[in-house]
């Protein structure tokens, strides 16, 4: 059964779509929307079972099918973390203008032929902590990513107000753990940008060389897993 995900569009200019990460909601982009709404027509979307959106059963195919319905023509698609992984998949199915990945990897966990991801046990510990008390641990995670007290307070309130469903956490975790989109990423022939943080413990900035080898403009900030909250963050222009 088709379900329309919660979404909101604001501003004027070229279309820009923002997809958030696992466990959060589109509220995390509040400061980014305020900053760029005079330059872009921005659409934020709550992922299935996150924020104000209903659950969507299935996996990456089903989630992306619902998201695609809400993406305007000629959009720049910016995805952060899990949202970035979904954005890669979407960009292989839908014509977009520019793919912008923030703290994103096409393959999160290390494998025999991939050593620039997270160790399996580290990821499972992180996931276990989130699933045991998502609100408490998301707050702790945010506190480690930003020194801006006003910003942290706003994010705390959003996390408290819109906790993700257990089903969404489980499906999102499965997507993160089992998706290997390296070959799909290589096949995407549009302008691509990747923004990484030197202090990111989930997506190491050592992935920069892989992105460069695959026709991607890279930007490195001295930040953790939330580079778009950093004062130095700039939305990349289309190449």
**What residue ranges do the domains of the chain occupy?**
7-229
C-beta of residue 176 within 8 angstroms of C-beta of residue 107: no
Superfamily name and number for 7-229: Alpha/Beta hydrolase fold, catalytic domain (3.40.50.1820)
Question: Which residues is 225 bridged to in the sheet?
Answer: none
* Distance in angstroms (rounded) separating the CA atoms of residues 3 and 177: 25
Q: How far apart are the first and last CA of the chain?
A: 38
Q: Which residues are catalytic?
A: 81, 200, 225
Residues of the chain with pLDDT under 50: 1
Containing 144, the helix (H) or strand (E) segment is: helix 134-145
In terms of C-beta distances under 8 Å and separation of at least 24 residues, what long-range contacts does 82-85 make, across chains too? 82/20, 82/21, 82/22, 82/47, 82/172, 82/175, 82/176, 83/18, 83/19, 83/20, 83/21, 83/47, 84/19, 84/21, 85/60, 85/175, 85/176, 85/179, 85/181
Question: Residue 77 has what pLDDT?
Answer: 98
Question: Residue 142 has what pLDDT?
Answer: 74
pTM: 0.92
Question: Torsions phi, psi of 71, nearest 5?
Answer: -90, 120
Strands 192-197 and 217-221: what pairing? parallel
């Amino acid at each position: 059964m088709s379900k329309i995900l919660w979404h909101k569009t604001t501003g004027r200019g070229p279309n820009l779509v923002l997809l958030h990460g696992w466990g959060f909601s589109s509220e995390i982009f509040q400061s980014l929307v305020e900053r760029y709404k005079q330059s872009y027509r921005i659409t934020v979307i709550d992922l299935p079972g996150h924020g104000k959106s209903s659950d969507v059963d299935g996996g990456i195919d089903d989630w992306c099918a619902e998201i695609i319905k809400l993406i305007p023509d000629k959009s720049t698609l910016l995805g952060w973390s899990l949202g970035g992984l979904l954005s890669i998949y979407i960009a292989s199915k839908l014509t977009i203008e520019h793919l912008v990945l923030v703290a994103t990897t096409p393959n999160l966990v290390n494998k025999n032929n991939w050593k620039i991801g997270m160790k399996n046990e580290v990821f499972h510990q992180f996931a276990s902590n989130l699933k045991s008390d998502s609100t408490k641990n998301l707050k702790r995670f945010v506190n480690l990513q930003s020194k801006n007290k006003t910003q942290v307070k706003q994010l705390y309130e959003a996390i408290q107000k819109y906790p993700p469903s257990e089903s969404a956490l489980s499906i999102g975790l499965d997507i993160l753990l089992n998706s290997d989109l390296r070959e799909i990423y290589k096949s995407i022939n549009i302008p691509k940008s990747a923004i990484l943080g030197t202090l990111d413990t989930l997506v190491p900035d050592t992935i920069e060389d892989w992105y460069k080898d695959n026709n991607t403009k890279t930007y490195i900030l001295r930040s953790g897993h939330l580079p778009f909250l950093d004062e130095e963050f700039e939305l990349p222009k289309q190449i």
